[in-house]
Amino acid sequence: MADSVPTDHKVESVAEDLQNLVLGPDGEPLSKKALKKLEKEREKEKRKQERAAELAAEKAAREANVVDYAKDNYGKLEMNQSASFEGTKFTTVRDLESAQVGSVVTIIARVQTTRPTGAKMCFLVLREGTSTVQALVSVNSDSISKQMVKFADTISAESLVRVTGVVVKPDEIVKSCTVGNVELHISTLFITSEATSRIPFSMEDATRPEIEYTKDPLLVKVNLDTRLDNRVIDLRTITNNAIFRLQAAVCKLFREFLDNRDFVEIHSPKIISSASEGGANVFQVSYFKRFAYLAQSPQFYKQMCISSDFGAVYEIAPVFRAEDSNTHRHMTEYIGLDLEMSFKEHYHEVMYMIADLFTFIFKELEKRYSHEISIIQRQYPFEPIKYSEKPLKLEFKDAVALLRGAGIEVDDYEDLSTANERILGGLVRDKYNTDFYMLDKFPTKIRPFYTMPDKENPLYSNSYDFFIRGEEIMSGAQRVHDADFLESRIRECGVDPATMSDYVNAFRYGCSPHAGGGVGLERVIMLYLNLGNIRRASLFPRDPKRLDP
């Protein structure tokens, strides 16, 4: 029995055997062969797991390496809901021209174009109002990554971005941008408002000077109708921004000059009960249970204000003309710069004051708006208008003589045709070296009934037109301020004075002699800049064929 009692050593070895004992599915210990196979399979599984762990580690390492070190320097900002107000100091693109090289600036501008050069650099043209500047995103080891460069390149054209960067002097002047003496080396770049729709034409195509098409006829040309159909985009060009700044400037200078002479700015009604200057060319609108008309001019109201002792008045407001004129210089709605002034002795007091007003406008445009003019010149080069300090005044009969002298047949008492007006403009320029002049003493029969006839020769009248480059910008005259005489003039025109009794009666209680004129704002801009078509000088033009946008 003592033999059957295991020693300590034996006990251990048996326990080990039992532990290693692997049973098969039948519950019997595995054969040696099966055991070997199992061992191989376990080995294989272990190696597989080790390999997977290795791969996972490699992947993690790789990922750790590509963590974008510039990720906080670019991206798309949340929609601005005015949640913060940090008082950041922003610079305008235009002011970059005079910014100190090396200074750090922040701007908000549109991305006009992006142009990558390889994976490490991307050039952008940034635009704000009337100015563009070149900017550059270039990879460096700590703040600008390849991903940031890629982001810059994928920003859609016309998106608004907030950019911080260093002002740098480029190797050579950047001719393609209005700010050419510096460029911006971007350090942060955030989209503040993304252009999610594709623009109908590129800003580069819309801003290209005509001359470039003669060099390369394959360049895309944006025609006027396409521009006007997409006016919001078209107005974004630096040229259009400048044109409409100049338009605003003309109004501002008109006001400034007249305010300094004690004029009163008035606002006359535009919905009126009868056609102001005869039934033709007037838009009829329904007005509750009857019809009303859109004012063709503030003529009657300006004059009534003179009778109300305002002394001198002006108005800047829309004028409506239902003329089916499809020309380069007519619209169905335009902005009238109108003025009326009582005078002491002679209507020339007013006529020469208006001439001084234009000279003032021309001079101040050159002085205060040279930037805008130079921007417009880039796309629509034009010769600045010639004018003299002492304005040129010719009489209608002088104009007839000049035209006849050039072999052109004209009638003494008929209006000049548009073509003849242009020819006259050329003749006047050649003879008097000016693009701006006044024609005085028009034939009475071609002027409205409220025009005062000339005392000496009633076939002519105390009326005048002003011209720039041979096209009319203003019509004016001394008005009839005597009610009875006015009535007789109205009757001569075949109209019943009773139809305009409010107007006629305004002169029954005494009224100063007065004169004035009506200027077409868009005509002044078109002719001053030689744009060739009035629609280019109108924000959202209205003509017989266009009511939209």
Contacts with ligand ATP, residue ranges (CB under 6 A): 321, 323, 330-331, 334, 472-475, 518-520, 522-523, 534
**Which CB, 152 or 474, lies closer to ligand ATP?**
474
Options 231, 255, 330, 422, the catalytic residue = 330
Q: Is 404 annotated as catalytic?
A: no
Q: How far is the CB of 250 from ligand ATP (least distance, A)?
A: 12
Tell me which residue of 145, 174, 1 sits closest to 74, measured CA to CA.
145
Cα 437 from Cα 420, distance rounded (Å): 15
Q: Is 321 annotated as catalytic?
A: yes
Tell me which residue of 156, 127, 135, 337 sits closest to 241, measured CA to CA.
127
Q: How far is the CB of 188 from ligand ATP (least distance, A)?
A: 48
Options 204, 277, 323, 364, the catalytic residue = 323
Q: How far is the CB of 272 from ligand ATP (least distance, A)?
A: 16
In sequence order, which residues have a C-beta less than 8 Å from that of residue 514 and are 6 or more positions away? 303, 306, 340, 341, 342, 343, 350, 478, 479, 481
Cα 325 from Cα 346, distance rounded (Å): 35
Q: What angle do CA 61, 145, 118 make, to 5 degrees?
A: 115
- Using a 10 angstrom Cβ sphere, with 0-12 exposed, 13-18 middle and 19 or more buried, the burial of residue 521 is buried
DSSP secondary structure, 354-372, as one string:
HHHHHHHHHHHHHHH-HHH
Q: How far is the CB of 524 from ligand ATP (least distance, A)?
A: 7
Query: In which residue are the tokens 């501002």 written?
Result: 252
Q: How far is the CB of 491 from ligand ATP (least distance, A)?
A: 22
Q: Are strands 471-478 and 284-287 parallel, antiparallel or unpaired?
A: unpaired
Q: Is 378 annotated as catalytic?
A: no
Query: Rounded to whole angstroms, what are the CA distances from 296 to 173, 188, 518?
Result: 51, 54, 11
**Which CB, 179 or 335, lies closer to ligand ATP?**
335
Q: How far is the CB of 210 from ligand ATP (least distance, A)?
A: 24
Options 472, 479, 487, 522, the catalytic residue = 472
Q: Is 323 annotated as catalytic?
A: yes
Composition of the chain by helix, strand, coil, percent to 5: 40, 25, 40
**Which CB, 128 or 543, lies closer to ligand ATP?**
543
Please state the three-class secondary structure of 392-424 as a single string: EEEEHHHHHHHHHHCCCCCCCCCCCCHHHHHHH
**Which CB, 472 or 487, lies closer to ligand ATP?**
472
Query: Strand, helix or coil at 120?
Result: coil
Q: Is 346 annotated as catalytic?
A: no
Tell me which residue of 162, 188, 161, 179 sits closest to 99, measured CA to CA.
179
Q: Is 82 annotated as catalytic?
A: no
Query: Strand, helix or coil at 379?
Result: helix
**Which CB, 334 or 343, lies closer to ligand ATP?**
334
Q: How far is the CB of 373 from ligand ATP (least distance, A)?
A: 21
Q: Which residue is nearest to ligand ATP (CB)?
A: 520
Q: Is 472 annotated as catalytic?
A: yes
**Which CB, 506 or 521, lies closer to ligand ATP?**
521
**Which CB, 324 or 366, lies closer to ligand ATP?**
324
- Catalytic annotation, residues: 321, 323, 329-330, 472, 475, 523
